[in-house]
Amino acid sequence: MSENQLPELTEELRARVREIVADVLEVPVAEVGETSSFTEDLDADSLLVIEIFSRFERQLGLRIPQEELADLDNLATAYAVIARHAPQEALRV
């Protein structure tokens, strides 16, 4: 399935993803924009990006291959990674 064909995440799941990112980066949720770069705009270092990745797995119950960590730089890419690995009931069909 190509990224253009990925199912959309529910609004609830999108909000949880944004909250996880804001919590790890210690910024207000409102500062985490859809295209804000975690590293360039929100000053995340590689360890914080790994922590975001890890929290997605733990808190959302996902198994994400390590090689997808390189894709994780903003909410849009996070949503795509999660959409590829989230259980169907978490996604809007």
- pLDDT of 1: 43
pLDDT at 86: 81
Q: What is the Cα–Cα distance from 21 to 38, expressed in whole angstroms? A: 8
Q: What pLDDT was estimated at residue 91?
A: 55
Output the CATH code of domain 3-88: 1.10.1200.10
Alpha-carbon distance of 28 to 92, in angstroms, equals 27
Q: What does the pLDDT profile of the chain (93 residues) look like in tens digits?
A: 444 555 688 899 999 999 999 999 999 999 999 999 999 999 999 999 999 999 999 999 999 999 998 889 999 999 999 998 887 655 554
pLDDT, position 53: 94
Residue 43 CB partners (closer than 8 Å, separation 6+): 25
